[in-house]
């Protein structure tokens, strides 16, 4: 009995020490909002952790790598996400989310309501339905607050563009994060035509950090859009040596022309940007 009890007690002890460290880390983290741009190969997956500990996931990459990334970035006891955003129905954004819905309790899923005739989308949809999460259709001007002057705003899909006019990329959810400690723009795979619409709309686009649209493809990041957003940092989320040639040289040159720093998940791995306030 004694022999069996000792390791058990030791186990409890270590668990408590580990829990204390995690709690301490949480307290430390509470001075900043963190945006984790995960290196998930060719695709997007960004986790926002608010100062109060809310977890917001924007896209989930193509495979199940996202589970390992979430496990590393969240405290070990946290098995819930407050909001998951599926920017559009392409596999490099939603395939990983099906795994997330099976492993995490998700409160709300913000999505476009538009699908594709692919096995990946079918799996995404059925995992979403099984998850019990509240599905919310993205609409221009929706704002999500978490009570500390930080918020996320839906800039697109644009109201005046009917579904039949859009391909999946044109229908991408475009989000802007605003905090007193800095701002960031997440355009999904929105192409130059949508960037032009956003500039024309007069919406607040200026942001400290810009996720390069469509993984740095030359079909996004038009000079006018980049000049309007005027970030100090651009993040490219792309797979190492990907077959699409992302990020495109033209995009890199556009950022260079405006003196914008570039971080890349394909070369730099996971990237965490903290906004302190
Ligand atoms: Zn994509």
Collect all residues with Cβ–Cβ distance below 8 Å to 105 and sequence separation of at least 6: 79, 80, 81, 131
What is the rounded average pLDDT for all residues in the chain?
90
CB atoms within 10 A of CB 241: 8
Tens digit of each residue's pLDDT (9 = 90 or more) over 222-270 = 999 999 999 999 999 999 999 999 999 999 999 999 999 999 999 999 9
Ligand 1 centroid distance, CA of 159 (Å): 22
The reported pTM is 0.89
Pairing mode of beta strands 174-179, 151-156: antiparallel
Angle, CA 154 vertex, CA 42 and CA 130 arms, to 5°: 65
Identify whether the C-beta of residue 44 lies closer than 8 Å to the C-beta of residue 245: no
Over the stretch 82-96, which tens digit does the pLDDT of each residue have?
Answer: 999 999 999 999 999
pLDDT tens track for 32-72: 999 999 999 999 999 999 999 999 999 999 999 999 999 99
**Residue that the structure tokens 């920017």 belong to:** 87
Among 1-5, 55-59, 77-81, 243-247, the minimum mean pLDDT is found in 1-5
Give residue 22 CA to ligand 1 midpoint distance, Å: 34
Distance CA 205, CA 187 (A): 11
19 Cα–ligand 1 center, Å: 37
Looking at the chain, the whole-number percentage of residues with pLDDT higher than 90 is 82
- 191 CA from centroid of ligand 1 (Å): 11
CA of 89 to the centre of ligand 1 (A): 9
Residue 14 confidence (pLDDT) above 80:
no
DSSP symbol at 150: -
Domain annotation for the chain: domains and CATH numbers: 33-276 (3.60.15.10)
């Amino acid at each position: 009995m004694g022999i069996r009890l000792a390791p058990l007690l030791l186990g409890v002890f270590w668990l408590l020490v580990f829990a204390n460290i995690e709690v301490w880390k949480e307290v430390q983290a509470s001075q900043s909002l963190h945006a984790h741009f995960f290196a998930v190969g060719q695709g997007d997956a960004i986790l926002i952790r608010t100062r109060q500990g809310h977890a917001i996931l924007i896209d989930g990459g193509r495979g199940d790598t996202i589970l390992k990334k979430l496990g590393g970035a969240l405290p070990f006891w946290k098995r819930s996400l407050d909001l998951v955003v599926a920017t559009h129905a392409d596999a490099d954004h939603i395939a990983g989310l099906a795994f997330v819905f099976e492993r995490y309790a998700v409160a709300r899923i913000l999505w476009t309501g538009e699908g594709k005739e692919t096995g990946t989308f079918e799996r995404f949809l059925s995992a979403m339905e099984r998850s019990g999460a509240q599905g919310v259709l993205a609409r221009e001007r929706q704002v999500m607050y978490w009570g500390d002057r930080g918020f996320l705003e839906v800039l697109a899909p644009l109201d005046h563009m009917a579904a039949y006019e859009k391909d999946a990329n044109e229908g991408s959810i475009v989000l802007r994060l605003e905090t007193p400690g800095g701002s960031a723009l997440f355009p999904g795979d929105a192409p130059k035509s949508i960037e032009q619409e956003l500039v024309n709309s007069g919406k607040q686009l200026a942001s400290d950090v810009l996720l390069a649209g469509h993984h740095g493809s030359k079909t996004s990041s038009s000079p006018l859009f980049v000049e309007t957003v005027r970030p100090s940092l651009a993040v490219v989320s792309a797979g190492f040596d990907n077959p699409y040639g992302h990020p495109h040289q033209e995009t890199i040159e556009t950022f260079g022309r405006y003196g914008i720093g570039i971080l890349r998940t394909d070369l730099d791995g996971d990237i965490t940007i903290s906004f302190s306030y």
